């Protein structure tokens, strides 16, 4: 059954806008939505709270294998507590990027990610949705944007939440994450061979959503 359920896989670097775009595409089609990055953030949050270091791959995998997150709309609960905002801090984001390089952790989360594939369809965003998790996705999109555009977006997001931010520091962090994500041995960040590539640097969110919906209707 699951293999016949259509999937739209949207991959791309940090702050490329893929999360917002994926949610809107899912809403337009009445599909389920998977924010795969949230799963790594959840593990990162648990690791920080329990004192598990970023290089302890097996312990991180154990955390992933035992956690049971609950997604309710745009809220995320873990062990009965709302962690929606807690996993969006810069500390957790940085930790998530560091731990995502570990193959044991990625393997532990693979089946959990696949379980989101349910009728009538799924829109999944992340780094390896089209290359590893859903290689048979009906549509694969690689969404990117310049470091400058992404840093500005992240800056606005943080300021709106009342979190101090510096664009130069954000730009440096994004470059470091891009390097780490693209050079890791386990599921490196890269476009799937059959992915449609879209640079959103100069595009509004509505324009990106419209383009992806158009591609989906044509495949």
Using the structure block, give the residue that is written with the tokens 């310049």: 146
Tell me: pLDDT of 11 over 80.
yes
CB atoms within 10 A of CB 44: 26
Average pLDDT of the chain to the nearest whole number: 93
For range 190-212, the mean pLDDT: 96
**Residues in CB range of 213: below 8 A, 6 or more apart:** 25, 28, 29
Q: Domain limits at 136?
A: 2-218
CATH number of the domain enclosing 168: 3.40.50.300
Tell me: pLDDT of 1 over 70.
no
Q: Break the chain down into helix, strand, coil percent, rounded to 5.
A: 55, 15, 30
Calculate the CA dihedral of residues 113, 106, 154, 151 and round it to 10 degrees. Answer: -130
Can you give the pLDDT at residue 2?
A: 67
Percentage, residues of the chain above pLDDT 90: 75
For range 29-42, the mean pLDDT: 95
For range 209-214, the mean pLDDT: 98
Band (9; pLDDT cuts 50, 70, 90)? very high
pLDDT digits 0-9 by tens, 84-114: 999 988 899 889 989 998 999 999 999 899 9
Give the 3-state DSSP-derived string for 32-51, with helices as H, strands as E and coil as C: EEEEHHHHHHHHHHHHHHHC
Tell me: pLDDT of 122 over 80.
yes
For range 73-84, the mean pLDDT: 90
Can you give the pLDDT at residue 116?
A: 92
Domain count for the chain, please give it: 1
Can you give the pLDDT at residue 71?
A: 85
* HSE-up of residue 217 (Cα within 13 Å, Cβ side): 9
Per the confidence metrics, is the pTM higher than 0.85? yes
By the 10 Å C-beta count (0-12 exposed, 13-18 middle, 19+ buried), 184 is classed as: middle
Can you give the pLDDT at residue 38?
A: 94
pLDDT digits 0-9 by tens, 132-190: 999 999 999 999 999 999 999 989 988 988 888 899 999 999 999 888 888 887 778 89
């Amino acid at each position: 059954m699951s293999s016949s359920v259509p999937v739209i896989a949207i991959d791309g670097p940090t702050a490329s806008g893929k999360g917002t775009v994926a949610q809107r595409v899912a809403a337009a089609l009445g599909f389920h939505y998977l924010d795969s990055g949230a799963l790594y953030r959840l593990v990162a949050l648990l690791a920080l709270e329990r004192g598990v270091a970023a290089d302890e791959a097996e312990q991180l995998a154990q955390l992933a294998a035992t956690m049971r997150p609950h997604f309710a709309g745009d809220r995320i609960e873990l062990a009965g507590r709302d962690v929606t905002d807690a996993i969006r801090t810069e500390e957790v984001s940085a930790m998530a990027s560091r731990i995502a390089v570990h193959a044991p952790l990625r393997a532990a989360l693979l089946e959990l990610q696949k379980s989101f594939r349910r009728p009538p369809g799924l829109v999944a965003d992340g780094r390896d949705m089209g290359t590893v998790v859903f290689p048979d996705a009906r549509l694969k999109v690689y969404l990117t944007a310049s470091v400058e555009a992404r840093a500005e977006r992240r800056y606005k997001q943080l300021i709106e939440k009342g979190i101090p931010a510096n664009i130069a520091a954000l730009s440096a962090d994004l470059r470091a994450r891009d390097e780490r994500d693209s050079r890791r041995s386990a599921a490196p960040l890269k476009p799937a061979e059959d992915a449609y590539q879209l640079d959103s640097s100069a595009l509004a969110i509505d324009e990106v959503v419209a383009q992806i919906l158009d591609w989906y209707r044509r495949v």
